[in-house]
Amino acid sequence: MGGSCLAERLAHYVALTPPEQDALVQLEEQERSFKRGAMIRREHDGARELFIVQKGWLHSSVLLGNGSRQIMRFHFPGDLVGVSSLAFGQSSDSIVAVTDVTLCPFDKDKLALLFQEHPRLAALIFTLSVAERVSLADRLASIGRTSARARVASLLCEIFARLRIMGGAGLDEFHVPLTQEEIGDATGLTAVHVNRMMRGLVDDGLIGRNGNMIKVMNEARLAEGANFTDRYAEIDIGWLPQPR
Amino acid sequence: MGGSCLAERLAHYVALTPPEQDALVQLEEQERSFKRGAMIRREHDGARELFIVQKGWLHSSVLLGNGSRQIMRFHFPGDLVGVSSLAFGQSSDSIVAVTDVTLCPFDKDKLALLFQEHPRLAALIFTLSVAERVSLADRLASIGRTSARARVASLLCEIFARLRIMGGAGLDEFHVPLTQEEIGDATGLTAVHVNRMMRGLVDDGLIGRNGNMIKVMNEARLAEGANFTDRYAEIDIGWLPQPR
DNA sequence: CGACCCCTTGATTAGCCTCAACAACCGTGG
DNA sequence: CCACGGTTGTTGAGGCTAATCAAGGGGTCG
């Protein structure tokens, strides 16, 4: 390895000082791998750990009394996962491996240290957490107030935008290792209806599909129909304090 | 008055040191009032300000291309509002006064200072922000995966739980100054259907209504049908760093 | 008093779910 | 090598939930 994934991610926004880099590398001393489908953390379990994603996709989700599942968010390499365990002794959601994954776990005490020693990093992590919340709010609006087709389109747009952060801005074809059931659980739809909506998007020439590869054919119309705005493009870090 | 509103809120969770209190008071030199219905901040407007609610109810919401509205959250006295402007130069949502309100506005630069000088307060504010995100996630699951009746019940449960934080644990009757349209915009329903669901809750003896007063008649069944868990009861601040 | 907002109720419609059947693909074991 | 069970994707038919459309009532404020 050598570098830290989180450092790589944060370096997208600020030029890290050497002490800051050291602090981030220390968060990723450990490394743990899980198989596709593995339950990494179960809802209501005690949890002192956060994870940095190194490789693979995950999702965090909740199970409801009626047996259905709501996926809150998909997590990609560079993401900080399990943040909700900061505020609660017990995990508020389950974390599941969508593909085979490699994670770097660290205890929340280490984050406390980061807040003390590196206020700029703390503020940056806070900022990214706020951006994630806005992204969740976008999904809420999507599910609450738009059609099934728009919800699916919106999820695809969000995934594309986030994959481009790490993968390069020019990408127009993506490996999306999600089942239609997972897409449904993220958008509040059934797998059957997701299938019909995806077919509609293909038939209308907005996207192309080949197995798990999805190609963006007409991103403008896709984003328009989805009511999508790319939050990650407009993150403002102007308020951050000076590095120590 | 005399003290800082934010200090009062944070003191619910930790014993503030004198320097911490001073820092918080400095955030709140100003005070501003708005009439019921006033648009305090409009989506896409530039925004460097955050607000602490002193009196009244607000909501933050987004407007969609199809003309509908999604309310993300209602804000009560003691809440920190407009945090999303930290991550973006432009506001991601609108902030609207539900009743007449009094707010304490402060610039986000002051928060940067807080991150530098008072890491424990920074971590606490981060924690509360995470808890809010979990609450948003609960709403997402509610809208994505439960019936109209459960969504309305869930919103009511959340409101009751939050009002009890400041208003006292024993309360079983609440003044809820929301129109059914606002409840619909928060739950992803139409006002007409909200009306029918509320009537159902009354008919089944779960709640009582008298104008804007809502009385909890059978909270166990209400919470059960809503799939509701009270997040605000279980916030854990054990990971915070030492005060400086 | 009238205008407006909000609540309420009824009738009809539309979007998404449910149920069902089958095809394609996968890894596994015989 | 093939047989197999399991998972995922696909498509059709019918049903149900919540939206839409519509009309009227009560309260409040100017």
Q: Does A75 touch chain B (CB under 8 A)?
A: no
B60, B86, B183, best to mutate vs chain A, most A CBs in 10 Å: B86
Task: Using alpha carbons, select from A132, A153, A161, A138 the residue that is nearest to residue A200.
Answer: A153
Question: B-contacting residues of A 218-237, CB under 8 Å?
Answer: 227, 231, 234-236
- What is the average pLDDT across B28-49? 93
Q: In this predicted structure, what is the pLDDT of residue A97?
A: 97
pLDDT band at A2 (very low <50, low <70, confident <90, very high): very low
* Nucleotides of C strand lying within 7 Å of any protein CB atom: 5-11, 15-20
Residue A98's SS3 state is: coil
Share of chain A above pLDDT 90, in %: 85
pLDDT(B98) > 60: yes
Nearest CA in chain A to B143: A144
Give the residue-averaged pLDDT of B120-126. Answer: 95
Average pLDDT over residues B82-91: 93
B136 closest CB neighbour out of A48, A62, A136: A136
Contact residues, chain B, for A68 at CB < 8 Å: 145
Residues with CB under 7 A from strand D: A 178-181, 191-192, 195-196, 198-199, 209; B 147-149, 188-190, 192-193
In this predicted structure, what is the pLDDT of residue B105? 94
| For chain B, percent of residues with pLDDT exceeding 70 | 99
B120-141: b or e for each residue (b if 16 or more CB lie within 10 Å)? bbbbbbbbbbbbbbbbbbbbbb
On the CB side of A224, CA atoms within 13 Å amount to 5
How far apart (Å, rounded) are the C-alpha atoms in residues A211 and A201? Answer: 15
**A66 to B145: CB separation less than 8 angstroms, yes or no:** yes
CA dihedral angle for residue B9, residue A137, residue B150, residue B162, rounded to 10 degrees: 0
Please state, in angstroms and as integers, the Cα–Cα distance from residue B53 to each residue in B57, B103, B139, B157, following that order. Answer: 8, 5, 22, 21
Smallest CA-to-CA distance from A68 within A191, A195, A194 is with A191
Q: What is the least distance, in Å, from the CA of A128 to any CA of chain B? A: 7
* Amino acid identity for residue A27 in this structure: L
Alpha carbon distance B165, B178 (integer Å): 19
| pLDDT interval class at A1 (50, 70, 90) | very low
Q: Is the pLDDT of residue B187 over 50?
A: yes
Instruction: Compute the mean pLDDT over every residue in chain B, rounded to the nearest whole number.
Output: 93
pLDDT for position B2: 45
| CA–CA min distance A35, chain B (Å) | 26
User: Residue B17, SS3?
Assistant: coil
**Beta strands of B90-203 (E only): which ranges?**
94-97, 101-107, 173-175
Q: Whole-angstrom Cα distance, residue B205 to residue B149?
A: 14
A227: which chain B residues are within 8 Å (Cβ-Cβ)?
64-66
**Where does residue A227 fall: left (phi above 0), alpha (psi -120 to 50 degrees), or beta otherwise?**
left
Count of A-B CB contacts under 8 Å: 186
Predicted confidence band at B4 (pLDDT cuts at 50, 70, 90)?
A: confident
| Type of residue numbered B132 | E
- The domains of chain B, with CATH numbers, are 5-136 (2.60.120.10), 147-226 (1.10.10.10)
Q: How far apart are CA B208 and CA B186, in angstroms?
A: 21
CA distances from A212 to A164, A178, A196, B58 (A): 17, 8, 16, 44
3-state SS, residue A75: strand
Q: What pLDDT digit, counting tens, does each position of A87-145 carry?
A: 999 999 999 999 999 999 999 999 999 999 999 999 999 999 999 999 999 999 999 99
Amino acid A212 reads N
Residue A26 has pLDDT above 50, yes or no: yes
**pTM, 2 dp:** 0.95
pLDDT at B79 over 90: yes
Q: In the β-sheet with A69-75, what is the strand arrangement from edge to edge?
A: A39-41, A94-97, A58-63, A69-75
Provide the pLDDT for residue B27: 85
Chain B residue at shortest CA distance from A226: B65
Scan residues 171-190 of A and list those with Cβ closer than 8 Å to B: 187-188
Report the SS3 class of residue B190.
coil
Asked whether the predicted pLDDT for residue B210 surpasses 70, the reply is yes
Tokens of B6: 């934010």
Pairwise CA distance, residues B84 & A127, whole Å? 9
Over residues B49-53, mean pLDDT: 94
Tokens (6 digits) for B196: 């029918």
Q: What percent of chain A has pLDDT over 70?
A: 99
- Please give the pLDDT value at position B51: 95
Supply the mean pLDDT for chain A. Answer: 94
